[in-house]
Amino acid sequence: MALTGVEIFKLLPKTNCKKCGFPTCLAFAMKLAQRQASIDLCPDVSEEAKQKLGEASAPPVRPITFGVGDKSIKMGEETVLFRHDKRFVNPCAFALEIKDTLSEKDIRDRIEQVLNSEMERVGQKLRVDAVALMNDSHDTSRFEILAKTIFQNAPDIPVIICSENPSSAETAVKLFADRKPILYGANLENAEAFANIAKTYKTILGVKGNNLDELSSLTEKVKSLGVQDIVIDSGARKAKDILRDNTFIRRAAIKKNFKPLGYPIITFAQREYSLVEALIGTIGIAKYSSIIVFSSIEKWKNLALFTLRQNIYTDPQVPMQVEQKIYKIGEPTTTSPLLITTNFSLTYFIVSGEIENSKVPSYLAVIDSEGLSVLTAWAAGKFTAAKIAQFIKDTEVEKIINHRELIIPGYVAILSGAIEDKLEGWKVIVGPREANGLPAFLRSKL
Amino acid sequence: MLIIGEKLSIIAKRVREALLKKDKVPIQEIAIAQWKAGAGMIDANIGPAEDGGESLMEWMVTTIQEVVPLPICLDTTNYKAIEAGLKVHNNEWGRPLINSTSNDPERFPMLELAAKFNSQIIGLTVGKGGLPADAEERAAIAAEIMARAMEYGVPLEDLYLDPLVLQIATSQDHALKVINAIKMFQELNDPPMKTVVGLSNVSNGCPKYIRPILNSYFLSLLMYEGLTAAIADAQEVAATVKTINVILGKTLYAHSYLEM
Amino acid sequence: MAFTPPTESYTGKVCALTIGLGDKAITFGGENVLPFHAFEGSIPNKPVIAFEIQDIPPDDWPEQVRKPYKDVANDPISWAKYCQDTLKAKAIALRLIGTHPDGENRSPEDAAKTVKDVLSAINIPLIILGSNHAEKDASVLISAAEAAKDKNCVIGKAQEANYKTIVAAAMAHNHKLIAMSELDINLSKQLNILIIQMGLERERIIIDPMCSALGYGLEYTYSVMERIRLAALTQNDTTMQPPMLGDVGMYVWKVKETQASETDIPNWGSVEERGITWEAVTATALLLAGADLLIMRHPKAVVAVEKVIEELV
């Protein structure tokens, strides 16, 4: 079982030498307990302590980095079954399958799609993370052509090399030897050969069982052959089976500390209809997949799935924040009302929703309060008269409206005088305490 | 366990009006009532107090200490106001307590003040941004605050770790996490670290008649885990504190223990 | 190491709830496990999707979702019939949006007439929704409930501000009730307690924890739903055992992603497929979190979600 911070602290040198980058051994121990640091950072820890810690601190789902460089993907390290308990750690990666039966032009087209898949959403850059090379031809030379085309055109995109044939697999893997690819396809028949290739070329090994029992013995087997980094596939393809197996795998790893299934999950979501495929992807995102392989990546589908992944992997403890700026609601003019609130996203959604309901076009100034709601932000000194006044000045809202009236939430009525003192020529109007009072309030001002 | 009398908060209408008018009477009445009920320190919460915070805190500290022989817990995010309060604080009644520093760099200067004025200080176990997810995260932040305190020359005996009590009405799971954190904090040092909570926040947003019940039972569990101090309404929690002290064998039982 | 499936058993059970009459009546809820966990318990009924229609033409719906109804949406009767007969809807959700005081401000009597007309045109179950104006909904839903007396409809939404009259109407006219609170599990439980204390059996309640669209707070709805379901099953909290509603269409078809044209934002791809996907993904995520009843708008999104439900059960 995991050690507590204090138990780990007792195993450390207690010199507070700071070589690990933390101010004290205690602070370092606490980070270790939370698996936010690695024991390797301590140069002075004894071998014995290291071993004890290694056993105890091995996370229930093995952390693995797939690919190298900027586009590498972290997987594993999950600690919970439900996102409200604690943040899901490493967002699942999306991969596009590219079959070796395609023409060279089609292969290039698909590589292009992956390379051009990046889009930005609430400050994050999101993209299709990887490609999966499919040896559908069962032919080694065709597979090699596919691998070469990808290697030449997208050298830094992480690849999943999918084949059940050791010689095909090895031919392709060779090309990516120093790029930490996933070699997928180890099964009952070929496990030994695949484990050897994985070891030789230092790849992650994708293991496929026909059920969870078979999968468990397969991972044990390849582990005994010296392969540490594994991703697992229970063989489930139907939605119902994916949900069941993924749930069992996550539960077994986290609640039972069952090591044979303590690895990231790869899910194959390919479907004839792209929309249905998106919904299978939805299941994978919500329910524990670490990699999802798709057969197509239309932009509309990417946008929806990127957004869902972002939503599911948001930290439930860090309130979601919206960008600090002046938002237009409806089509406001120079005489439209100006309201201000904090940047806690729920606050923003509810306030902007009620302004919409009022049908009174308005400006909504949203100030960075580190995601706190109005009253909490005020108490924490993040929503104060000085900060509000400064924000109003900085945004130069005076250039887009010709009145000088600012509506503040009723909960911080106390601030009205102080804001007026700091914002010359402005009048502060106290709005309702709750957002649902806004429609009546705004209409009464017309 | 130390009760830090909490009724002098700007959030209360009566206090806010008194502060605006600089009317000593209500402030002193409240302070005396807290003292008589068993408070060992008085919390003076003037809010963010961006404007005139310094004179406001000065006035609060002297107004309270005029009538009550207790130290003050200086409660504001305004650095200058804390400094002004520390300057006029009468240390004859005990050492003041700064409320608070945290793992947010904006709050580090508070440690400087604690060192300079030989004051005690509360370390709120939050960083910049989000709330700690569980007891372990609170303890990790605590360890960083402790390191920071030593850097600034604040002895660990003068640091009170505060796990940040959240409202049960919206963050129910945190009640138990806070109890666990109190236990964990003490293990972070030998002698054990001191701990403090802002008790009534647990019942913030709950119906009025429920609040004293929640506060008292929550305090009982926290005391069982070894809580050092609570910012609380002394009148409300006095019986709980006395009773738990009897149950835990910290005071000798007598039929009239509640009157003592 | 041999693998033993780590199944779990639960102490509670979601209430099963039947709406509508005769052979077109439908039942949802009744499961004693987390969503689609048939491998460790029983799921007697599948989630149900109701098609949303409204009492006035859907001028505020975006083009992409108005299009499928362009020949029928001028009249709620033909719209309802189209959903039932052509789209094979299992249920219809009639939103009386025209009663909103800021809109057409139709009277409760108008609303009652629309309800009567729609009911006489269909034989599948009907969900009757107000305009989400707490005060007006109270009067509108009383008339609507009376007009639909004994048809075993669902009426809603009852909120903290107006639940008393709406609960009374549901009780008097034998309907089921939607109890809505705003993304707050504690307030949701409180509202259910108050409603049950008024005498409405919990087996007649549907919980609406408030929907949010993909990208616009979906994770809040998702987690509140998961927590409600866990309370119902693992803590056997009887007040949290009614089935849950995801009122998906209304929230999805007002966000930018379902409306912005590809010309404006080329990087977002086809607006038609984007909108449908937005609705279907939102709906599927909420099914996984525990929704038993969905209200949706686009026929293609409904088809896709139903296909996935078939695959999940």
Same domain, A204 and A187: yes
B127 pLDDT band, cuts 50/70/90, is confident
C55, β-bridge pairs = none
Residue A232 lies in a domain: yes
Q: Which residue of B has its CA nearest to A421?
A: B51
Q: How far is B238 from chain C (nearest CA, A)?
A: 30
Same domain, A264 and A166: yes
Please report the number of interchain residue pairs, chain B to chain C, with beta-carbon separation below 8 angstroms. 4
How many domains is chain A partitioned into structurally?
Answer: 3
Which residues 7-46 in chain B show a CB within 8 A of chain A? 11, 16
Identity of the amino acid at B113: L
Q: State how far the Cα of A266 lies from the Cα of A208, in Å rounded to an integer.
A: 9
Contact A82 C300 (CB under 8 A): no
- DSSP assignment of B182-206, as one string? HHHHHTTSSSPPEEEEEGGGGGTTS
Return the partners of chain C (3 or more C-beta pairs < 8 Å). Answer: A, B
| Mean pLDDT of the region B120-137 | 88
Same domain, A351 and A405: yes
- H-helix or E-strand spanning residue A131: strand A130-134
Measured between CB atoms, does B190 come within 8 Å of chain A? Answer: no
B122, β-bridge pairs = B99, B160
A130, β-bridge pairs = A95
C1 pLDDT band, cuts 50/70/90, is low
ipTM over 0.95: yes
Contact A23 B147 (CB under 8 A): yes
CA dihedral A244, A250, A253, A254 (to 10 degrees): -130
Same domain, A68 and A52: no
On average, the pLDDT of chain B sits at 94
- pLDDT of A38: 81
Same domain, A262 and A391: no
**Residues in chain B within 8 Å Cβ distance of A315:** 130, 133
Q: Which residue intervals of chain B are DSSP H helices?
A: 13-21, 24-37, 53-67, 79-88, 109-117, 135-152, 173-186, 211-224, 234-247
**Residues in chain B within 8 Å Cβ distance of A14:** none
Residue A1 has pLDDT above 60, yes or no: no
A376 pLDDT band, cuts 50/70/90, is confident
| Mean pLDDT of the region A146-162 | 95
A250, A282, A312 - which closes a domain: A312
Q: State how far the Cα of A243 lies from the Cα of C39, in Å rounded to an integer.
A: 10
- pLDDT of A201: 96
Which residues 164-193 in chain C show a CB within 8 A of chain A? 182-183
**Residues in chain A within 8 Å Cβ distance of B177:** none
Catalogue all structural domains in chain C, each as residue range(s) with its CATH number.
41-312 (3.20.20.20)
Mutate to test the interface with A, among C36, C187, C219 (most CBs of A within 10 A): C219
Same domain, A124 and A269: yes
Please report the number of interchain residue pairs, chain A to chain B, with beta-carbon separation below 8 angstroms. 82
Contact B131 A317 (CB under 8 A): yes
Q: Give how far Cα C251 sits from Cα of A418, C61, C87, C212, Å.
A: 38, 11, 22, 6
- Contacts with B17 (C-beta within 8 Å, 6 or more apart), sequence order: B23, B26
* Fold exhibited by the domain B2-259: TIM Barrel (3.20.20)
Residue B192 has pLDDT above 90, yes or no: yes
Q: What sign has the CA pseudo-torsion C287, C170, C230, C215?
A: positive
Residue A55 has pLDDT above 80, yes or no: no
| Mean pLDDT of the region A392-412 | 92
Same domain, A49 and A73: no
Mutate to test the interface with A, among C4, C160, C277 (most CBs of A within 10 A): C277
Percent of chain C beyond pLDDT 90?
A: 93
**Residues in chain A within 8 Å Cβ distance of B189:** 26
Q: Which residue of A has its CA nearest to C40?
A: A244
In this structure, are residues A120 and A300 in contact, taking their beta carbons and an 8 Å threshold?
A: no
Q: Which residue of A has its CA nearest to C134?
A: A436
Same domain, A122 and A28: no
Q: Which residue intervals of B24-108 are DSSP H helices?
A: 24-37, 53-67, 79-88
Render pLDDT for C14-44 as a digit per residue (tens, 0 to 9): 999 999 999 999 999 999 999 999 999 999 9
Residue A320 lies in a domain: no
Percent of chain A beyond pLDDT 90?
A: 68
A36, A57, A78 - which closes a domain: A57
Q: Which residue of B has its CA nearest to A8?
A: B188
Q: State how far the Cα of C200 lies from the Cα of C191, in Å rounded to an integer.
A: 12
Residue C98 has pLDDT above 60, yes or no: yes
- pLDDT of B129: 64
CATH number of the domain at A256, please.
3.20.20.20
Same domain, A142 and A117: yes
B216 pLDDT band, cuts 50/70/90, is very high
pTM value? 0.87
A346 pLDDT band, cuts 50/70/90, is confident
Residue among A225, A231, A242 nearest A207 (CA): A231
- Contacts with B121 (C-beta within 8 Å, 6 or more apart), sequence order: B97, B98, B100, B101, B110, B111, B114, B149, B154, B158, B159, B160
Q: How far is C142 from chain A (nearest CA, A)?
A: 23
| Mean pLDDT of the region C161-168 | 96
Q: How far is B103 from chain C (nearest CA, A)?
A: 27
In this structure, are residues C290 and C228 in contact, taking their beta carbons and an 8 Å threshold?
A: yes
Residue A73 lies in a domain: yes
Same domain, A268 and A228: yes
Same domain, A131 and A276: yes
Residue A317 lies in a domain: no
In this structure, are residues A59 and A77 in contact, taking their beta carbons and an 8 Å threshold?
A: yes
Render pLDDT for A189-207 as a digit per residue (tens, 0 to 9): 999 999 999 999 999 999 9
In this structure, are residues C157 and C180 in contact, taking their beta carbons and an 8 Å threshold?
A: yes
Q: End-to-end alpha-carbon separation of chain B, Å?
A: 15
Identity of the amino acid at B63: T
- Contacts with A436 (C-beta within 8 Å, 6 or more apart), sequence order: A354, C134
On average, the pLDDT of chain C sits at 96
Q: Which of B133, B143, B151 sits opposite A317 (nearest CB)?
A: B133
Which residues 49-78 in chain B show a CB within 8 A of chain A? 50-51, 77-78
> Residue A433: which domain range?
325-444
- pLDDT of A174: 95
Measured between CB atoms, does B47 come within 8 Å of chain A? Answer: yes
Per the document, the length of chain A is 446
Per-domain boundaries in chain B: 2-259
- H-helix or E-strand spanning residue A266: strand A266-268
Please tell me whether residue A188 adopts helix, strand or coil conformation. coil
Strands A64-66, A73-75: parallel, antiparallel or unpaired by DSSP?
A: antiparallel
| Mean pLDDT of the region A101-114 | 96
Residue A318 lies in a domain: no
Render pLDDT for C232-262 as a digit per residue (tens, 0 to 9): 999 999 999 999 999 999 999 988 899 989 9
Same domain, A269 and A236: yes
Q: What letters, b where the CB count within 10 A reaches 16 and e where it falls short, cover B65-77?
A: beebebbbbbbbb
Q: Which residue of A has its CA nearest to B142?
A: A27
> A446: buried, middle or exposed (CB in 10 Å: 19+, 13-18, 0-12)?
exposed
On average, the pLDDT of chain A sits at 92
B235 pLDDT band, cuts 50/70/90, is very high
Q: Which of B16, B143, B151 sits opposite A30 (nearest CB)?
A: B143
Q: Give how far Cα B115 sits from Cα of B61, B196, C196, C222, Å.
A: 20, 20, 58, 47
Residue among B28, B100, B97 nearest B69 (CA): B28
